[in-house]
């Protein structure tokens, strides 16, 4: 009986969703750590490798809004299970890739498979927690992104040295398939929780079509797109940068790369709580201030003279950037009704994953054709400046209006 009660406890579902997010980041981080080996095997340079990295994010971005819509229509469980199973299958196939063209197709399909997970995971949070608890729980949930990114190098780097890059993808892909089966067998379909009754009843409902035309949501999308240019660019290229420019070996890189993700995980976990406690109705100031501080430390990375300075500045930049991450994902769960949360999160994550397609490819071309990473750092710094400017236009009044319009919707 105790086991049954725990399986039906919201905390159990939350833990599994958290672990699923971690696994997804381990799977996708593996290719960045294996990039130098893949380049040697297929005899390709930074520009082509950048396209390989971007192929995943093209598929991933394309699936964000459809994935959210599917989670809203059919519930989170079905989309979560199918998504985990598909991305795990394509993780296995990544290790079996026989040519660069095949790898590009596999990584694109990998992105499509994984693309339904973020919005369905956030939908899962909305299904098991009432509105007032969602920002805090969403902040905790998306901290899993950085926990996974922190764990990935510690697991993947030694496995590459031990097994080779191809067998690593086979191992982690099969582990993901096992996890998908476990989730399907243990998690029951969630029943919608009662919406917050403390808010005044709205006279009209907000439809998905209206949501897609909502300027407030698209401003959040743009801010997170710009910050994700930084996030996805550094996630993809820092291992290669440390190996080729700073002259480190893969074992050392595996130990240093996780450090920024530790700080990011802490900040993201705090972000939803911080937004609710101190920036209720003032969310734009949290976003704007965090963007400015992120930009300061990205500039520090650009000017850094030593490897230690690069890692320290990246670690602090990721800390402040993660407050924007938490706010961008927590806001839709705060202001939208449960039936629209999946689509809203899908829109925000579409911006982030579109940046994942753009940034690795742009950085690859910049590095290849300028022969230096300096142009890449300037590109990332410009993206942070744009995010800071757009965040100033987010209106507290509009946030409140959307929240009221969505109050009491089933």
* Domain containing residue 64: CATH number: 1.20.1250.20
pTM greater than 0.85 (yes/no):
no
Q: Is 5 helix (H, G, I), strand (E, B) or coil?
A: helix
pLDDT at 48: 80
Q: Could you tell me if residue 306 is inside a domain?
A: yes
Using CA atoms, how far apart are residues 380 and 375, in angstroms rounded to an integer?
9
Classified as helix, coil or strand, 187 is coil
**Hey, what's the torsion of the CAs at 313, 153, 47, 367, to 10 degrees?**
20
To the nearest whole percent, how much of the chain has pLDDT over 90?
17
**Closest to 390 measured CA to CA, from 232, 223, 226:** 223
pLDDT in tens, 49-69: 777 877 887 888 888 878 888
Q: Is residue 45 situated within a structural domain?
A: yes
**Radius of gyration of the CA atoms of the chain, in A:** 20
Count of the separate structural domains present in the chain: 1
The pLDDT of residue 259 is 82
DSSP conformation class of 207: P
| 389 within domain boundaries | yes
Evaluate whether residue 270 is within a structural domain.
yes
d(C-alpha 36, C-alpha 151), whole Å: 20
Q: In the predicted model, what is the mean pLDDT of the chain?
A: 81
Instruction: Give the pLDDT confidence of 347-401 residue by residue, as tens digits.
Output: 888 888 788 778 888 888 898 888 888 899 999 999 999 999 999 888 756 666 6
Q: Sign of dihedral through CA atoms 31, 37, 39, 45? A: positive
In a domain, 410, yes or no: no
- Give the Å distances, CA to CA, from 130 to 10, 134, 192, 231, 315: 11, 6, 9, 30, 33
Q: What's the whole-number mean pLDDT along residues 324-341?
A: 78
CA atoms of 205 and 221, how far apart (whole Å): 22
Residue 297 has pLDDT above 70, yes or no: yes
Q: The domain containing residue 100 runs over which residues?
A: 2-405
> According to the model, what pLDDT value does residue 223 have?
92
Closest CA to 265 of 307, 308, 326, 220: 326
Provide the pLDDT for residue 204.
43
């Amino acid at each position: 009986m105790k086991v049954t009660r725990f399986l039906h406890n919201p905390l159990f579902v939350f833990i599994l969703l958290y672990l699923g997010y971690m696994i997804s980041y381990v799977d996708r981080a593996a290719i960045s750590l294996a990039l130098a080996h893949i380049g040697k095997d297929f005899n390709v340079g930074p520009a082509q490798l950048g396209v390989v990295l971007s192929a995943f994010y093209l598929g991933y971005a394309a699936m964000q809004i459809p994935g959210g819509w599917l989670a809203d229509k059919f519930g989170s469980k079905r989309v979560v299970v199918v998504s985990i199973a598909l991305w795990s299958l394509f993780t296995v196939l990544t290790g079996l890739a026989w040519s660069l063209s095949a790898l590009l197709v596999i990584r694109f399909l990998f992105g499509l498979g994984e693309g339904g997970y973020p919005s369905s995971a956030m939908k899962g949070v909305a299904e098991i927690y009432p509105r007032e608890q969602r920002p805090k729980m969403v902040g905790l949930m998306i901290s899993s992104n950085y926990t996974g990114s922190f764990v990935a190098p510690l697991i993947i780097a030694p496995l590459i040295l031990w097994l080779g890059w191809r067998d690593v993808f086979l191992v982690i892909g099969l582990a993901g398939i096992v996890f998908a089966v476990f989730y399907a067998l243990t998690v029951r379909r969630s029943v919608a929780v009662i919406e917050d009754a403390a808010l005044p009843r709205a006279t009209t409902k907000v439809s998905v079509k209206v949501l897609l035309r909502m300027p407030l949501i698209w401003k959040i999308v743009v801010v997170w797109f710009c910050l994700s240019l930084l996030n996805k660019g550094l996630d993809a290229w820092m291992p290669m940068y440390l190996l080729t420019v700073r002259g480190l070996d893969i074992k050392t890189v595996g130990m240093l790369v996780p450090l920024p993700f530790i700080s990011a995980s802490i900040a993201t976990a705090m972000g939803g709580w911080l937004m609710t406690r101190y920036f209720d109705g003032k969310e734009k100031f949290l976003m704007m201030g965090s963007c400015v501080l992120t930009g300061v430390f990205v500039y520090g990375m650009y000017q850094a003279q030593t490897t230690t300075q690069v890692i320290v500045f990246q670690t602090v930049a990721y800390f402040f950037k993660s407050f924007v991450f938490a706010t961008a994902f927590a806001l839709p769960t705060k202001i939208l009704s449960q039936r629209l949360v999946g689509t809203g999160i899908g829109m925000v994550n579409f911006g982030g994953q579109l940046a994942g397609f753009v940034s690795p490819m742009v950085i690859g071309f910049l590095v290849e054709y300028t022969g230096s990473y300096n142009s890449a750092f300037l590109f990332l710094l410009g993206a942070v400046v744009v995010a800071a400017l757009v965040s100033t236009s987010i209106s507290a009044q509009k946030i409140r209006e959307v929240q009221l319009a969505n109050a009491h919707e089933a």
